């Protein structure tokens, strides 16, 4: 698809790059290019771009921190909207009385946010320590870990819907589950968190504890996109099963395809070496799913999102 730049960003406050390399903007650091990469400077501009793309029937994707994303080697069609400007990275606290709430921009990095809240002596977000990505992506997939998920501290979400309108959703009107929510498709521009004031030293220690646990059990120093597969549900008990343990018990640790391999530290992480391709990762994921299904009858579902040309799922 050839995109007319002037039709989509003309007169708007946005940076625009055609045929832009976006694979390097992900945690994997591999993959192809986008027909157009657009970085809006205001939320109003972002909403207008969404409206124009819908009118022109141009596909649009949202790029946050790229932590849970794999871009196909052939790249993607349409527009990739990058949330890297200050309007998406603002952090605001209530100005009077005890600090009990904060409005966090959708493009705010989770690592930095955990540190900032601890520095201010605000508790309730420590369990997100060591989880990569941005607030918008975390809200969209209800990211979390052993200590809980982001929904547990979420009061409201502000979203640009796919028709370009902006709405605020209170969390009591939404449903959040394991790595999912009923939040409508669109751009998470900000989220309101409920927090409590506490002892900064105690909060920092809690952050260190959560981060150390992740560092001990996950290959955080390697190039990966976090957990490759969702933890499946045990149909007999309704509880979650460990995808990493299932893959490990199937004998797949260190299984490799090209420059991609199953981590020897955590079997639900696929790590890449220099020279790896996106297709290496995709082929390895397919092999893992097939071999686990053969060994256990379980059908693993991807947690990593794959962007490919002409596929907009």
Q: How many helices (H) and strands (E) does the chain have?
A: 7, 20
What angle do the packed helices 200-217 and 110-119 form, to 10 degrees? Answer: 150
Distance from C-alpha of 91 to C-alpha of 219, rounded to nearest angstrom: 30
Burial class (CB in 10 A: 0-12, 13-18, 19+), 74: middle
Q: How much is the pLDDT for 4?
A: 54
Q: How much is the pLDDT for 6?
A: 57
Q: How much is the pLDDT for 1?
A: 45
Distance from C-alpha of 72 to C-alpha of 52, rounded to nearest angstrom: 25
How do residues 32-73 score in pLDDT, each as one tens digit?
999 999 999 999 999 999 999 999 999 999 999 999 999 999
Distance from C-alpha of 177 to C-alpha of 266, rounded to nearest angstrom: 24
* Both structure tokens of 249: 């018990």
Task: Catalogue all structural domains in the chain, each as residue range(s) with its CATH number.
Answer: 5-86 (3.30.43.10), 89-216 (3.30.465.10), 219-307 (3.90.78.10)
Q: 127, 210 in Cβ contact below 8 A?
A: yes
* Both structure tokens of 79: 């527009």
Provide the whole-model pTM.
0.92
> Other CB atoms closer than 10 Å to residue 161's CB: what's the count?
15
DSSP assignment letter at 239: P
Any idea which residues carry the catalytic annotation? 179, 227, 303
Spans of the chain, pLDDT less than 70:
1-6, 96-99, 312-313
Distance from C-alpha of 67 to C-alpha of 111, rounded to nearest angstrom: 12
Q: 135, 188 in Cβ contact below 8 A?
A: yes
Q: How much is the pLDDT for 191?
A: 97
Of residues 119, 144, 106, 115, the one with CA closest to residue 197: 119
As beta bridge partners, residue 270 has 262
């Amino acid at each position: 698809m050839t995109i007319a730049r002037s039709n989509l960003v003309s007169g708007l406050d946005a940076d625009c790059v055609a045929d832009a390399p976006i694979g390097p903007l992900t945690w994997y650091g591999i993959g192809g290019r986008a027909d157009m990469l657009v970085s809006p400077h205001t939320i109003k501009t972002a909403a207008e771009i969404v409206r124009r793309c819908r009118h022109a029937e141009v596909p649009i994707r949202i790029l946050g921190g790229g932590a849970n994303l794999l871009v196909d080697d052939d790249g993607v069609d349409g527009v990739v909207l990058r949330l890297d400007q200050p309007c998406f990275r603002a952090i605001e606290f209530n100005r009077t009385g005890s600090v009990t709430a904060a409005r966090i921009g959708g493009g705010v990095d989770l690592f930095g946010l955990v540190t900032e809240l601890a520095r201010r002596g605000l508790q309730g977000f420590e369990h997100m320590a060591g989880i990569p990505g941005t607030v918008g992506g975390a809200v969209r997939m209800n990211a979390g870990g052993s200590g809980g998920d982001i929904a547990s501290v979420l009061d409201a979400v502000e979203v640009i819907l796919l028709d370009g309108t902006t709405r605020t959703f209170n969390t009591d009107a939404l449903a959040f589950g394991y790595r999912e929510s009923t939040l409508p498709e669109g751009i998470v521009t900000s989220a309101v968190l409920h927090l409590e004031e506490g002892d900064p030293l105690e909060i920092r220690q809690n952050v260190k504890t959560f981060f150390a646990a992740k560092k001990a059990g996950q290959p955080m120093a390697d190039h990966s996109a976090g957990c490759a597969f969702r933890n499946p549900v045990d149909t007999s008990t309704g509880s979650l099963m460990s995808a990493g343990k299932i893959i490990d018990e199937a004998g797949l640790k260190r299984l490799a395809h090209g420059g991609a391999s199953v981590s020897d530290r955590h079997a639900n992480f696929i790590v890449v070496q220099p020279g790896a391709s996106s297709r290496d990762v995709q082929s390895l994921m397919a092999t893992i799913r097939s071999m686990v299904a053969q060994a256990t009858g379980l059908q693993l579902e991807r947690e990593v999102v794959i962007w490919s040309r002409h596929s907009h799922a």
